[in-house]
Amino acid sequence: MSSQVTQKSPEHVAIIMDGNGRWAQMRGKPRLFGHQEGARRVRDIVMACAEHGVPYLTIFAFSTENWKRTQTEVSGLMSLFKRYIRREAANLMKNGVRVRFIGDRTRLEPVLVDMMEELERMTEQNVTVNLTIAINYGSRDEVGRAVRNIARDVAAGRLDPEAVNELTLSGYLDTHVLPDPDLVIRTSGEARVSNFLLWQSAYAEYEFIDTLWPDFTAEEFEKVLGRFGKRDRRFGAVVG
């Protein structure tokens, strides 16, 4: 089996958008100011995906662990998500961006869930870029929910337990309609994956970038894509 050489751009890029709070604190501003700037940066990277032929982009907006932050910050983030949907819906439609949300919606306020579902319906025919936003998402939580659903289907006789394999689990994940990520980027200099797309990223390439998310420009994104394009992805194979 020969190695597989990547194309110019990955099919699916996933980003851990880290560093908003530090960016704000370095400027003497509250953390929410950094989150607001980070939300503006999303638009630039979505458009860069369209420009460079990256059809799938997944961004980590709020983790299942982020509820541990102060009530002020959590409430501010939830308000920011609603404001983002209101402000960006027309722009997303104009640019042919399809939006999906992944994560456990049961803990989110109903008004936000309604807005998320409406944006999903509004953009479902768009094909230029598939933007997936992870809100109240954790990979372990996602796998746990998937396994519970598999167990229910086995118990109900809808699924043969002997037929369960890794493809079965993939089909029960929030991301079952998406290709696995080819490239995972984390900004802010932290070198950890933070419970993000753990199952799906088994063979992804990783880039840990020192730049804080609000400063991560389309130009820097292009450089990361260029480095990815030079990598030799072997998927466990031995060359030679």
pLDDT of residue 9: 87
CA 79 to chain centre: 19
* Owner of token pair 């751009």: 9
The helix/strand/coil state of 56 is strand
- pLDDT, one tens digit per residue, over 54-92 is 999 999 999 999 999 999 999 999 999 999 999 999 999
In whole angstroms, give the CA distance from residue 101 to residue 105.
Answer: 9
In 96-231, where do the E strands start and end? 97-102, 129-137, 183-186, 205-208
- pLDDT, one tens digit per residue, over 205-234 is 999 999 999 999 999 999 999 999 988 766
- Which helix (H) or strand (E) segment holds residue 145: the answer is helix 139-155
The pTM of the full predicted model, rounded to 2 decimals, is 0.93
Which of the residue ranges 51-55, 186-190, 208-212, 234-238 would you say has the lowest mean pLDDT? 234-238
Give the angle 160-165-169 at the CA atoms, nearest 5°. Answer: 95
DSSP 201: T
Residues annotated as catalytic are 18, 66
> For the packed helices 218-229 and 31-51, what is the interaxial angle rounded to 10 degrees?
50
